Structure 1
Amino acid sequence: MGRNLQSTGQLRPVDLAREHGLSTQAIRNYEEAGALPAAARSASGYRGYTSLHAAALRAFLALLPGHGHRTATAIMRAVNEGAAEEAFRLIDESHALLLDDRRTLRAVENALRDLEPTAATATEPGGAPGVTFIGPLAERLGIRPATLRAWERAGLVRPRRDPLTGYRVYDEADVRDARLVHQLRRGGHLLGQIAPLIAQVRAAGGLAPLEAALGDWRDRLSARGRALLAGAATLEEYLRERERD
């Protein structure tokens, strides 16, 4: 059976799979999902692939690192259905997402750069060293207390309440979060966009650990950018193969 297929210039699922260390079931799954063109079938029902399918598989696997499985599949399905413009739109969306992530990284870097290390100090009666209250903090940031309350409702700052007075008490971590939110808001970010960044600061244990992680974040974005380029180049080869086919 394998000899008959190959003698006609056709390839078996195992021939495609072997080149990339995949299983034959994976090849069938990719075809069923539309990432590969539909294969011709023999009279006995066996799939017969060609060099076009091999090029499609290379393109799909090259798209995966930059776009992810779902988008890479959608791109290849669009190409295989003759809807190249839809494929290009999906590619543009991935580039736009990467650009948004770069802008977010730049905003965080700028915000951290603008945050001068200052200790929160009590400035209202009854305060303890290392804490402050809503009025002095709002004045320090140049915003209204209502703004701080809005940030609290959004979960961006989490002051505790003094058990005796009921006043909001901001410790050093709260002041840090408020200052970072302030910088990001000045950079045009919406509260919903800021929330995951504040969560990262808290998860990292503060600004210093987060700042150390920015290099890794930057490297991942660069790797994604290169993966998008590599995927585009291999997809172009597949498009040319389709035109010749």
Structure 2
Amino acid sequence: MRPIDLAREHGLSAQAIRNYDDAGILPPTERSATGYRRYTPLHAQALRAFLALRGGHGHQRAADILRATHRGDLETAYRLIDASHADLLTERAIHTEVAAALAALAAVPAPATGRPLTVGELAHRLNVHPATLRTWETEGILRPTRDRATGYREYGPTAVRDADIARQLRRGGQPLRRIATFLDTLREAGSPDTLRVFLDSWQSRLTTRSRDLLTGAAQFDAYLTLLDRA
């Protein structure tokens, strides 16, 4: 087969096939007497495997999996595959934690208006030590501003809301890292209602990636089967 023959199946260009070949994503290629590359069904399956793996693992890791396979290092290929599954499992856990933490918002009053609170005032409001607020700041949970004249910390409405959420989650036994992750997600979304939409979209992406990993595994297994017969 010619490069264009492999390319047509996937809507790629012949140059893309040559680039994948040069990058080691395809197995070693023989050339004709005139220097043209000759591809076989093995190369076609390698390309299918790479494109399928790319959906779940990303371009770089998918390429690394194929390169490791072609140098006979299947242990590394399997480790790379396992790492992607571990990454997805971790992301699923974070999503679950963030979704569960939404319940804490129901017990938190809406951000108040008015002047910012000082460290002492906020600590008194929450019934915590001021050092606790500084620890939460170090962990990325709180993001107070600074008074331009004095340099003292100031906690505006959003920071006060975040502190209220942190207190609720700490009472529920959540570690600081998870609280910081939840608040980062809330800040990115902008509001609890937007966060719910964001979480639904996030869940959809997780589901899609899980399916992509399965598809990639099937195509890669088919490629390994051909390699064993070669």
CA distance in 1, matches of 2:125, 2:163: 11
Code of the aligned partner of 1:194: A
Give the residue type in structure 1 aligned to 2:132.
T
Question: 2:43 maps to what in 1?
Answer: 53
Residue 60 of structure 1 and its aligned partner are, at CA, apart by 0.3
Q: State the structure with more CA Rg.
A: 1
Query: Runs of 4 or more off by more than 6 Å in structure 1?
Result: 163-166
Give, in whole Å, the separation in 1 of the partners of 2:149 and 2:48: 67
Name 2:180's counterpart in structure 1: 194
Structure 1 residue 163: deviation in Å? Answer: 7.0
Distance 1:166 1:74 in 2: 50
- 8 Å contact 1:119–1:130 — kept in the other structure? no
Give the alignment's Cα RMSD to 1 decimal.
2.8
Give the aligned partner of residue 83 of structure 2. 93
Q: 1:101 Cα shift? A: 0.8
Q: How many correspondences in the alignment?
A: 227
Q: Choose between structure 1 and 2 for higher RCO, CA contacts under 8 A separated by at least 6 residues.
A: 2
Q: Which runs of 5+ in 1 are unaligned?
A: 1-10, 122-127
Does residue 206 of structure 1 match 2:191? yes
Matched, 1:108 2:93: no
For residues 16-46 of structure 1, give each alpha carbon's deviation from its aligned partner in whole angstroms, at most 9, with x where no partner exists.
0011110111111111111110110112211
Q: Does the CA-based 8 Å contact 2:25-2:63 persist in structure 1?
A: yes
Q: Can you give the 5+ residue segments of structure 2 that lack an aligned partner in the other structure? A: none
8 Å Cα contact 1:120/1:130 also seen in 2: no
Which of the residues 9, 12, 23 maps onto 1:33? 23
**CA gap 1:84/1:101 in 2 versus in 1, 3 angstroms:** same
Aligned-pair CA distance for 1:176: 2.5
**Do 2:189 and 2:195's aligned partners in 1 also have CA atoms closer than 8 Å?**
yes
Match of residue 225 from structure 2: 240
1:172-213 CA distances to partner (integer Å, 9 max, x unpaired)?
31122234455389433538x936x54442233223311221
1:222-237 alignment runs, 5 A limit: 222-237=207-222
1:237 and 1:173, CA in 2 relative to 1: closer, same or farther beyond 3 A?
Answer: same
Pair 120,12 (structure 1): closer, same or farther in 2 beyond 3 Å: closer
Give me the whole-angstrom Cα distance separating, in 2, the residues matched to 1:243 and 1:181: 55
The answer on whether the counterparts of 2:185 and 2:195 sit within 8 Å (CA) in structure 1 is yes
Residue identity in the other structure for 2:108: P
TM superposition score normalised by structure 1? 0.81
Instruction: Check the 8 A contact 1:120/1:131 in 2, yes or no.
Output: no
Q: Deviation of residue 144 (structure 1)?
A: 2.8
Q: Aligned partner of 1:25: which letter? A: Q
For the 8 Å contact 1:107–1:187, the answer to whether it is kept is no
Question: Residues 134 and 148 of structure 1 are in contact (CA less than 8 Å); yes or no, is this contact kept in structure 2?
Answer: yes
Residues 161 and 51 (structure 1), Cα distance of their counterparts in 2 relative to 1, 3 Å cut? closer
Aligned amino acid, residue 6 of structure 2: L
Partner of 1:7: none
The 1:151/1:188 distance shift into structure 2, 3 A limit, reads: closer
Do 2:65 and 2:76's aligned partners in 1 also have CA atoms closer than 8 Å?
yes
Q: Contact between 2:111 and 2:157, CA under 8 Å: does it hold in 1?
A: yes
1:69–1:136 CA distance, 2 compared to 1 (3 A):
same
How many Å separate the matches in 1 of 2:22 and 2:32? 17
Partners of 2:72 and 2:108 in 1: how far apart? 57
- SS where residue 45 of structure 1 aligns? coil
Q: What do the CA deviations read for 1:46-97 (whole angstroms, capped 9, x no partner)?
A: 1001000001000000001100000000001111111111111000100111
Match of 2:136? 151
